[in-house]
Structure 1
Amino acid sequence: MNTNATKKEVLEAYHFRHAAKAFDPTRKISEEDFRFILETGRLSPSSNGLEAWKFLVVQNPELREELRPFAYGAYNQLPTASHMVVILARKGLIPESPYIYEQLTKVKKYPAEMVRNNVGAWHDFFDSFHLDNERARTAWASKQTYIALGNMMTSAAMIGIDSCPIEGFVPDRVNEILAQRGLLGDDEYEVSVMVAFGYRAKEPRDKTRRTMEQVSEWIL
């Protein structure tokens, strides 16, 4: 592997990436390319490997239009993006939850007896991070979704596809709309963040950032 060439390609992707406020509605991402983007989200790391997320790929025009009044940060992206993803965070995570047991035994292939015997350690972990109520636990799960979000945006940029992360929405109304369509399971999920993908409608201004010295400090 030519590591210098790889580093150059990665930095070029970061310079290419910007938060596209509107997309060219005539250009669509191929299924192969979008499945690649989703795969980088699926393969993203998560705390304790719980993968406490779900990716809703919202291609239905009626649903997009229904969400639009309550997603002011996506007002221009919803009608123009090739692909719109609503990233959900899992609720109700407690040491004894069936989801954690299933994830550890069926996905991560840990012995069932070991998982049952480690419930006390899970309680210690939850206590150490003050995950003592549903709001705190859902917020913890929501933080994990941003790892997948960042990886999907980077992988998109690597293949010349634009994106825009979106937090500008009314969570209660978005959750209500998704719940009415049965997209939150049995009250298992809530919206965490959105991200739009497509091809830019116009070229952005040059990227600006604070200097490395301003944003980093070495402790030797």
Structure 2
Amino acid sequence: MDKEEIRQHVLETANRRYATKKYDPQRHISPEDWHTILEVGRLSPSSFGYEPWKFILINSPQVKKGIRPFAWGAANSLDGADKLLLILARTDVTYDSDYVRHLVADVKHHQYSPESKPSQAFKHFQEDDLGIRNDQELFEWASKQTYIAMANMMTAAAELGIDSCPIEGFNYAQMNNYLSKRRVIDLQHWRVSVMVSFGYRDQPIKPKVRQPLMAIYEELN
């Protein structure tokens, strides 16, 4: 494709992506496509490259039944989506945390020290630039980044002809409590950030209605 064809393809993908409210429960995502969607999530950018997320696929009928009373926004996805994904955000990503130590030393294979220049730069960024002071603010910072991964996964799905729906419609306290009691998550380190479903729509595509670009874009020269 030439550049103009690529531009048109990008816009067609954006227009095809739709927050699907009704799925066809008889259609299933291939393992290869699902792996690709997950890989796109894994490869998404994060602040300082610290990847403050975890993806949990809910296959268990028992868990789906258990969360239904307080996951009202997921009702249609529970009934028809092929995949229902929980995205967790960490609550403990600080310059001197065990998690950052592990990521730097064991994953990135760099020498770690809380006194190093990169560690101190991260400390300054969180504490001074962002003004993070407690676990809730740490979670909120991490949660914002999970939306980058989710958006990338949804776009990748649209490229593959797969539909999706982001889901915030649930009681967060009840969801975290339910998953903690089932020992799915450790609330000392994780909390639910958002949910997203994937599958194949059983409804027509609705044309997107958005504000004009001139209403949301300006240039400072």
Scaled to the shorter chain, the TM-score interval is over 0.9
Partner of 1:50: 50
Q: What is the Cα deviation at residue 94 of structure 1?
A: 2.4
Alignment of 1:110-189 (within 5 A): 110-113=110-113, 116-118=115-117, 119-128=119-128, 129-185=130-186, 187-189=188-190
Q: What is the Cα deviation at residue 116 of structure 1?
A: 4.1
Q: Give the counterpart letter for 1:117 in structure 2.
A: S
Partner of 2:215: 214
Partner of 1:193: 194
CA RMSD of aligned residues (A): 1.5
Mapped to 2, the partners of 1:116 and 1:35 lie a distance apart of 38
CA contact (8 A) 2:92 2:99 kept: no
Q: Deviations over 1:166-187 (max 9, x none)?
A: 1111001111111122221463
Q: What is the Cα deviation at residue 10 of structure 1?
A: 1.6
Q: Give the counterpart letter for 1:94 in structure 2.
A: T
TM-score (norm 1): 0.94
Structure 1: gaps spanning 5 or more residues? none
Q: What is the Cα deviation at residue 219 of structure 1?
A: 1.5
Q: What is the Cα deviation at residue 17 of structure 1?
A: 0.7
Identical residues among aligned pairs (%): 41
Partner of 1:99: 99
Partner of 2:27: 27
Q: Deviations over 1:6-35 (max 9, x none)?
A: 222221111111100121001011111011
How many residue pairs get matched?
A: 219
Q: Give the counterpart letter for 2:176 in structure 1.
A: N
Mapped to 2, the partners of 1:153 and 1:131 lie a distance apart of 29
Q: What is the Cα deviation at residue 149 of structure 1?
A: 0.6
Alignment of 1:61-72 (within 5 A): 61-72=61-72
CA contact (8 A) 2:176 2:187 kept: no
Mapped to 2, the partners of 1:218 and 1:94 lie a distance apart of 35
CA contact (8 A) 1:65 1:79 kept: no
SS in 1 for 2:195: strand
SS in 2 for 1:76: helix
